[in-house]
Amino acid sequence: MTRKAPEVAPSERAESHRPSAVVFDLGNVLIRWDPHPALAAGLGAEEASRFLAAEDFDFMAWNHRQDGGRPWPEAEDEVARTHPHWHRHALAYRAHFDHSLLGALEDNVAVLRDLHAARVPLFALTNWSAELFPRARERFEFLDLFDDIVVSGEERLAKPDPEIFEVLRRRIGRPLQNCLFVDDSPANVAAAAAAGMPGVVFTGDRPLRPKLRGRGLPV
């Protein structure tokens, strides 16, 4: 005769699989970021659009290298050498960077505050240049809710490089498989999963709170 296993309530199943910590991306998860307003502040809206749509210069790829630790003066000097017609555009972005930070995504910040109130350990893993990240620190007080923030520019590694997830593991001192990662980039979430950390993609078209609640988190 086989003894039937006792049924487990859904809430108990969620609790048993609940992440022990949550790791947030920052840009376009908690802080709205758009380079166009920064460029427009120095160049005008039409010229900013022209720069971002240029076929001979990939702004996002260029900016990503600063996220990976390249100093801004070096990056701007490179543009002066290789794309002199875009040099003043490159200078305008850093000069007016604060305009690229459009404010907090308040619904997600509310989720962050609820997790903090419930004593869930909180960490951030952000692609951000070391030179510009202090601007965010000064402006967004909710960043103080994190136990630690891993800034790609400081580590000279940027998502989705697998090595940055090893840096994260060492910094937070816990297994990645016990954490949940939230990012707006499917490529970054896939890289986290490859490193053993489950994640959810926040795209802005669906609220974050139900996704975390479905993982058993107290939000």
Stated pTM of the model:
0.91
Confidence at 35, pLDDT banded by 50, 70, 90: very high
Query: What is the tally of structural domains in the chain?
Result: 2
- pLDDT tens digit string along 122-148? 999 999 999 999 999 999 999 999 999
Q: What is the mean pLDDT of residues 194-210?
A: 96
d(CA 113, CA 188): 24
Domain around 69? 35-100
209 shares a domain with 128: yes
CATH of the domain at 110: 3.40.50.1000
Residue 191 lies in a domain: yes
- pLDDT tens digit string along 44-100? 999 999 999 999 999 999 999 999 999 999 999 999 999 999 999 999 999 999 999
Residue 219 lies in a domain: no
Q: 148-151 and 31-33: which strand pairing? A: unpaired
Residue 56 lies in a domain: yes
| The pLDDT value given to residue 5 | 40
109 shares a domain with 94: no
| The pLDDT value given to residue 1 | 38
End-to-end CA distance of the chain: 43
d(CA 165, CA 99): 30
Residue 87 lies in a domain: yes
Confidence at 116, pLDDT banded by 50, 70, 90: very high
Choose one of 80, 100, 120: the last residue of a domain. Answer: 100
196 shares a domain with 110: yes
Residue 3 lies in a domain: no
Confidence at 11, pLDDT banded by 50, 70, 90: very low
